[in-house]
Amino acid sequence: MTVKHCESHRRANSIVVMNALIDGSLTGCLLVTHLPVKAELQRHPELVGRPLIVANGDATHPRALDASAEATGVATGQTVAEALSRCRDAVTIPVDGRYLSEVNDALLAALWDVVPAVEAAGWGLFYLDLTGMAPIYGGLAGLAQALLSASEEWLRPRLGIGPGKFPAYCAAARVEAGMWQRVPADAGRWLAPLPVSWLPLDGDGVSRLEGFGIRTLGDVAKLAPSSLAEFMGIDGNRAWRLARCIDPEPVVPTPLPERLTERLEFPFPVDTVPAIEAGIRSLTQRLCRSPSLRARCVGEGALQGELLSGGIWRFERGLRQPAGSADALARALLAGLGARDAVGSSRWPEAALLDLALTVGDLTPEAGRQAGIWQRERVADVGAVAGVARPAAMAPGSALPERRWALGASLTPLSLPARASVDAARGVPRRVRTSNGRWRPVEQVVDLWEVATEWWTPEPVNRRYWRLALADGGLLTVYRDLDSGQWYRQGY
């Protein structure tokens, strides 16, 4: 290959860069390095400080997608067997594509709140159209701070700003985590020492350059574009332009993925399969009422809930057959929960849940005969008697009546206790004031029992129940909270 120097090309390059700086055209690159590792450490904090490998690929030939700094000797693309031979103490986690997408999409949405155009170019890689945005934030520094602050602190993003995508990326890759920098006016000289491996070339373009002793962007910039074009075709011309900080490729906005979420706060911590199942069915019924799901199917669902013991429980499932109804979606999620994971562990929560959220995505149009199913299910959320909400089993074997059954999509508990006024002598009820304000004498104590349960939770239950026959007829159940001393009425 003939190497030629061309002063006219150098002058043209300088003019292009200066014009970009003068007219205010700016592109940003927000870079989160090692996103797969950071995402896994966020939900597995016990692995912080340990060598970690996030593996990609099928189960028979997994390869290292990412590795923590502690995993010395491990490189992206190595087989897991090779990686473990170099770092025997490393922990290997298969990549969770849905969770990683969720983290990436959350950052995409946060950046959309700051600037009018964001392009997601890969895991943790975003290009931003910053043209004309600096004055809105009081200057370039204010805009940069707003972009860095848009992400979670644990992501530790880097921000580069320049006259195009490639120079902005180089600026982001060269700055420290949590910081930002702008490409200087003399961009060609600034890019010159960078390795050719930073060029976004397809195939073996980089190795071909290196094979001819072309190691840096400065080496590429010294060549005549015609020589590179003869040698590498279109990639050669592109490499020359990028090495001279000429990158007219626009930011192509990435639309936000459409997702819908419904949340349910349980009336009490639930730790039984029937109660969690009732919550899932309630959430699917709520979602089916959304106009956004009219004549559409759901392709993926994710459940999340706060655990009474602390922490978050998550379950995600992609549906092989998109669900066109609330019942189909509930069945698919429950079937996934009923199956064991790769190591034989249960997928159900390991502790009681305080709440539950269901997020659905991958929404596609319904086809043919399925049209209208969502509409029909809006009328189907009733029991056998019209107008009567369908009861849902929560914890039928519970010692607390209000924990056993609930009604409707809101899961309103049956037999909720209500505060009561009880006149007692030495702890024995003598009369009870009813809702009309009238005192009703007690004729006889029919039954007496105590309930002491949930001692393992932050709010243990200690009650003494009295089944009373009233002097004017009828039976009434009351109990006294042995911790607070307060009396309550309860249907039993």
pLDDT digits (tens, 9 = 90+) for 448-478: 998 888 777 777 888 999 999 998 888 899 9
Under the banding of pLDDT at 50, 70 and 90, the label for residue 71 is very high
Report the alpha-carbon distance of residue 233 to residue 178 in Å, rounded. 38
Distance from the Cα of residue 323 to its chain's centroid:
21
Q: Inform me whether the pLDDT recorded for 367 exceeds 60.
A: no
The class level of CATH for 7-32+124-243 reads mainly alpha
Task: Give the pLDDT score at 13.
Answer: 45
Size (the chain), residues: 492
pLDDT top residue among 338 and 64: 64
Lowest-pLDDT range of 50-59, 190-199, 380-389: 380-389
Contact (CB, 8 A) for 445 and 456:
no
The residues spanned by each domain of the chain are 7-32+124-243, 35-99, 264-393, 418-489
Q: Quote the mean pLDDT of the chain.
A: 84
- Mean pLDDT of the region 123-145: 95
Task: Give the pLDDT score at 54.
Answer: 94
Q: Inform me whether the pLDDT recorded for 156 exceeds 70.
A: yes
Task: Give the pLDDT score at 373.
Answer: 39
Report the alpha-carbon distance of residue 107 to residue 127 in Å, rounded. 12
Highest mean pLDDT among 4-13, 285-294, 380-389: 285-294
- Mean pLDDT of the region 396-425: 83
Task: Give the pLDDT score at 344.
Answer: 65
Report the alpha-carbon distance of residue 87 to residue 75 in Å, rounded. 11
Task: Give the pLDDT score at 401.
Answer: 85
CATH number of 264-393: 3.30.1490.100
Q: Inform me whether the pLDDT recorded for 259 exceeds 70.
A: yes
Chain segment 158-188, per-residue pLDDT in tens: 999 999 999 999 999 999 999 999 999 999 8
Task: Give the pLDDT score at 11.
Answer: 44
For the record, the structure tokens of 365 come out as: 């149009």
Q: Inform me whether the pLDDT recorded for 142 exceeds 50.
A: yes
CATH number of 35-99: 3.40.1170.60
- Mean pLDDT of the region 415-434: 89
Under the banding of pLDDT at 50, 70 and 90, the label for residue 154 is very high
> CB burial class (10 A; 0-12, 13-18, 19+) of residue 371?
middle
Q: Going edge to edge, which strands form the sheet with 63-67?
A: 63-67, 52-56, 91-94
Could you give the angle at the alpha carbon of 189 between the alpha carbons of 187 and 190, nearest 5°?
60
Q: Inform me whether the pLDDT recorded for 131 exceeds 70.
A: yes
Lowest-pLDDT range of 60-74, 213-227, 359-373: 359-373
For the record, the structure tokens of 161 come out as: 């700003």
- Mean pLDDT of the region 260-286: 88
- Mean pLDDT of the region 77-98: 90
CA nearest 351: which of 271, 264, 273? Answer: 271
Q: Inform me whether the pLDDT recorded for 402 exceeds 90.
A: no
Task: Give the pLDDT score at 243.
Answer: 93
Lowest-pLDDT range of 48-62, 119-133, 401-415: 401-415
Q: Inform me whether the pLDDT recorded for 22 exceeds 90.
A: no
Chain segment 309-326, per-residue pLDDT in tens: 888 898 988 888 888 888
Under the banding of pLDDT at 50, 70 and 90, the label for residue 388 is low
Q: Letter for the amino acid at 260?
A: L
For the record, the structure tokens of 455 come out as: 């001692």
